[in-house]
Amino acid sequence: MRILVTGGCGFIGSNFIGYLLARNDLAKITNIDALTYAGNPANLAGVVADYGERYEFLKADICDAEKVDQVLSKHDYFAVINFAAESHVDRSIDSPGDFIHTNVVGTSTLLNAARRHGVERFVQISTDEVYGSLGPEGKFTESSPLEPSSPYSASKASADLLALAYHHTYAMRVVITRCSNNYGPYQFPEKLIPLMIIKAMGGNALPVYGDGLNVRDWIHVEDHCAAILAALMNGKSGQVYNIGSDGELRNIDVVKRILAYLGKPESLIEYVTDRLGHDRRYAIDSTKAHRELQWKPCHRHEEGIIETIDWYVLHPEWWTPLLKS
């Protein structure tokens, strides 16, 4: 079983590659990544050492139709799993064109190529941000309307609709997963949790947007990887699966947990001007994934965040070069 993983040098993609190879002795993975700022081959150093010929890497941009066609001509692929994306909301506000190009055009290129080459399954990795912002109660379900608030989330919603169109028009076996906020090892340090850990370790000010009361549903990346594998093998074509862990926390509470564990004062918190279009609350209803995919998260946030902090404390050789890039 060979799978094409796109964006596999990023945070979630690299974790998924290691997760799958460790659990399926028959799996082989080809990873293509354009190696933009968040694509880091060091994320997969252990995979290369442990799995040898079961893993291969090719530098490629998913928007390059000719290159993607060459990659898909190389093997008989069981599936394409599309992690490749520009994913940072702040960057999308400054440079929306980059997000539209990679997230929409790139997804279209992959869908066309997968269809031409007869790839059996296509999994589109999306985000709960396509639903917009929730009020103080309720949760997003798969039938919630798409109301994206940023160029990033709008580009992901567009890619989702393209993927579903290929299911309906061409009978491609397409599944979409929409996950809540991930945390864990190898996350690029522009994201909230690794950014706060690294700044707190150095005794630097921790910038918190607005009043810090924005709520996110946090899920450990390993639980997300398990859900993606379940969606690949058991997901119904043309369906969307929400992936969350019932781990709702206010941003400020996440920051305070990090400070407390590291023994740093809350005086390091610095409230800064809120981000444009900042969604107030996300919460995911994963009932459908529990029922149809037989998946449930295993990590409790209390332990998971401590494990994550410890990982960053123990691996400065991984994140220190990224601060200089």
- Which residues does the annotation mark as catalytic? 128-129, 152
CB atoms near residue 66 (< 10 Å): 10
Show the tokens assigned to 142: 């798969």
- On whether the CB atoms of residues 77 and 3 are closer than 8 A, the answer is yes
Q: Angle, to 10 degrees, between the axis of helix 301-314 and the axis of helix 316-323?
A: 80
**296 — phi, psi (to 5°)?**
-145, 150
